[in-house]
Structures are given as C-alpha cells and as structure tokens.
Amino acid sequence: MQSLVNQPGSAITQSLRGMALCHPDTIKVHFDPDYVERTAPCPSGKVAVISGSGSGHEPLPIGYVGLGMLDAACPGPIFTSPSPVQLMAAVHSADHGSGVLFIVKNYAGGVLNTELTIEMALQEGIDARYVLVNDDVAIPEVANRRGLGAATLACKIAGAAAESGYSLDATVNVTQRAVAASRSMGVGTNVNTLPRNGLGVNLADDSIELGVGIHGEPGEVRSVKQGMPEIVDLILPPILDDLPFAPRDRVLLLISGMGGTPPLELYLFSEAIHERMAAHQLRVERQLIGNYLTSLGRGGYTMTLMKLDDELLGLWDAPVHTPALHW
C-alpha cells in the first residue's frame, strides 16, 4: 500500500492533522505554510527552539513539539527540508523577543533553507542562530557528516535549556556541547532502496547495510553470519573511537528503529549493545529505545551515544511533555 504514503502533498497534510488530532493537548497544527506549535504557554523571556525536517522521519520533528522541547516544528515534503516560508511562520509563532535557535540536521537542504531563513529573521530584527547536528560517523569527512539520533537529543537538551531560562547564547552553547558529545551510526536490514520510488534491491537474508542514511543513502553491504553481536561489533568501534568514549564514561544510549523494524528485533539489537557497553565499562545512565528517527518504513536501526556530564544529565531529566517524549 505504498500509494497511501506516496500521494504527494496531501499525505503529509493529513498525517500532520492526524498527529494533531492524536495529541490535541500538546500541539496545534497550522497549514499553508505548514508548521506545528506547542499549546503550553511559554515562560516570558524564553528562547524559542525550532526544528524543521523533511517528512518520513516521524516522530522527528513534530513529535518533539511541546513543553521542555520544541516550541515549533516544520515538516517538509517526504525527505525534503521545509522552506524558509514555513520556517519564518514558525519563527513568528515562537519568537517572544529572546531569540530563536534552529536545530538542523546536516543535509544541504536543511542547512541552506535555515541559513536563508536566518537572514530573513535578522532583517526583521529577530536574533536567530542554528546548531548543526552531524553525529553520523559513517561519513569520514567531519564536514559532511549527517545528522542522526543526536537530532532528538539536541532538541531535548536545547528545549530543556530554553525552558529553564538559558539565554540564546547559553542555549546554543550547551546544545553544541550535546552534539559534540554524540556519535551515531545506522544499519539497514531489509531493502537497499529509496523507499519513495520502490527501487532498490532486497538485501540477502544474512546481509546488512552498514552506515546507511535515513533517506535511502546507501551503506556498505556486509554479510553477517553471527547475528546481532557481529553487527554491533561493526558499528561500535567507529562510534567509540571517534569521540573517543573511554571506560567509566557516563553515557546516554538512544536506539531507534527506522520505522519498519519489529520491536523484537530492536530489543535483540539492544541486548547485543548492552553486552558491549558492559565490556567497554561504559555506564549507561539513561536510555531510550523505540522509533525516534525513522526512514519511512524501512528495516534498520540507528544507535547513538552521548557522553553525559551533570549539566547534560540535568537537562535530559528535565520535564518534557510532547507526543513522543513525556516525563
């Protein structure tokens, strides 16, 4: 039933309306230009935190709108970043004079649209900045690294900081620290494909795609004979060595399915990760397992580690009330 999601335009609009109808106490949706804002009132002087993203990665970004996280979010077409017109509408809704922070995954479209929006906002006298999320160690050149699970973490950290009264500078700084302390990698498990086009080749039953992107960007096809532990041994060293993470580091572990991964398999993946965390003497202080950054209905998962300190831990634990995160 690929066609359900493929109706250009209207599927996004209806899905957006669906999300708002499912969470009427938390979010409010606007159309044309499309954006979503929180219903919870803002403390005065609060910095606005906004994120835009192509659709198909739900709950990101709309599911992160609400108290303690995003003030507003904009969904683009499938896998295509939203326009400055949408982003400016979100700015006008969320800005209360203390400035705006955009959380942007490092893809050309997201960065370019945000930079253009920031120029427009500055012309209107609104102080606007962005933090670039680039946690994907599958890309060797740091400048080209894509944004993965750290986008979820950055939205939470920035939102908690803003909610608790951090200034724009301070919110930018702590969010940049959160991203700088995070590393991720993705694994595709079923179809080596661009979901939109139904193209692509089925992976063999014993094969994965290592370092896959969340828009069908291909990874490296590897045959895996030993099951999950072998997969985790392929992604963990690049993650751990890059920061690097060291024994006794306190970490936050985020495991996200890509939308087509059975929960059974996600917990299988988690088990192998936890075993290695213990072997590396990493202290998993907090964890989140579920669908937090998806790629339409493809099979696969991403793993993200963030090195924690007391400030980041406090901001992570701060109350949040959104469709996707709630505590």
Partner 1 sequence: MGQEITTSQLRKWLLAYAARIIENEAHLTKLDTAIGDADHGVNMRRGMSKLKERLKEEKQSEDVSSFLRSVAMTLISGIGGAAGPLYGTFFLRAATSPTNGSSIDLVQLTQMFRYGLDGLQQRGKAQADDKTMIDTMQPAVEAMEAALAAHQSPAVILAAARQAAHLGMKHTIEIEARKGRASYLGPHSIGHQDPGATSAYFLFETAAEVFTKTGAG
- Give the catalytic positions in this structure: 57, 215
Stretch that binds partner 1, among 91-99, 164-172, 189-197, 235-243 (CB under 8 A): 189-197
The rounded Cα 104 to chain-centroid distance in angstroms is 9
**Tokens 């579920």 -> residue:** 290
Residue for token pair 């690097």: 244
Q: What whole-number distance in Å separates Cα of residue 134 and Cα of residue 181?
A: 11
Identify which range of 42-50, 151-159, 215-223, 301-309 contacts partner 1 by CB under 8 A: 215-223
Instruction: Decide if residue 201 touches its own copies (CB under 8 A).
Output: no
By CB under 8 A, name the one of 170, 199, 246, 278 that touches partner 1. 199
Out of partner 1, its own copies, Mg ion, none, which partner does residue 197 contact, by CB within 5 to 8 A per kind?
Answer: partner 1
The residue type at 313: L
Question: Among the candidate windows 72-80, 178-186, 202-210, 316-324, which touches partner 1 by CB under 8 A?
Answer: 72-80
**Are 316 and 157 spatial neighbours (Cβ–Cβ below 8 Å)?**
yes
Q: How many CB atoms lie within 10 A of CB 141?
A: 6
Out of 168, 180, 194, 234, the residue judged to bind partner 1 by CB under 8 A:
194
State which residue, 42 or 116, has the beta carbon closest to partner 1: 116
- Position of tokens 């012309």? 123
d(CA 94, CA 251): 32
The rounded Cα 299 to chain-centroid distance in angstroms is 17
Cα-based distances in Å from 311 to 61, 174, 281, 308, 318: 24, 8, 22, 8, 11
Query: How far is 154 from 247, CA to CA, in rounded Å?
Result: 24
C-beta nearest to ligand ADP: residue? 109
Task: Of 201, 279, 203, give the one whose Cα is nearest residue 237.
Answer: 279
Query: Is position 213 an interface residue for ligand ADP (rule: CB under 6 A)?
Result: no
**Interactions with ligand ADP, residue window 94-153 (CB under 6 A):** 108-109
Exposed/middle/buried for 9, CB within 10 Å: 0-12, 13-18, 19+? exposed
- Of 15, 80, 164, 207, the residue at the interface with partner 1 (CB under 8 A) is 80
- Cβ(55)–Cβ(15) below 8 Å: yes
Selected binder of Mg ion within 13, 80, 164, 167 (CB under 5 A): 80
Chain residues 250-269 in contact with partner 1, contact rule CB under 8 A: none
| Segment near its own copies (CB under 8 A); pick from 7-15, 86-94, 141-149, 235-243 | 7-15
Token duo for residue 321: 């009330």
Q: Which is nearer to partner 1, 99 or 213 (CB)?
A: 213
Shortest distance in whole angstroms from residue 4 CB to partner 1: 17
Which residue from 61, 66, 68, 84 is in contact with partner 1, where contact means CB under 8 A?
A: 84
The residue to which tokens 């198909």 are assigned: 56
Q: Which does 240 bind (CB under 5 to 8 A by kind): Mg ion, its own copies, ligand ADP, none?
A: none
Q: Which does 159 bind (CB under 5 to 8 A by kind): Mg ion, its own copies, partner 1, none?
A: none
Write the CA distances from 113 to 31, 127, 141, 204, integer angstroms: 19, 16, 22, 38
**Cα–Cα dist 285/43, whole Å:** 30
Q: Applying CB under 8 A, does 15 fall inside the site for its own copies?
A: yes
The contact set with ligand ADP (CB under 6 A) reads 80, 108-109
The contact set with its own copies (CB under 8 A) reads 1-5, 7, 11-12, 14-19, 21-22, 55-56, 58-59, 63, 189-190, 198, 203, 205-208, 224, 227-228, 255, 259-272, 274, 287, 289, 291, 294, 296-297, 299, 326-327
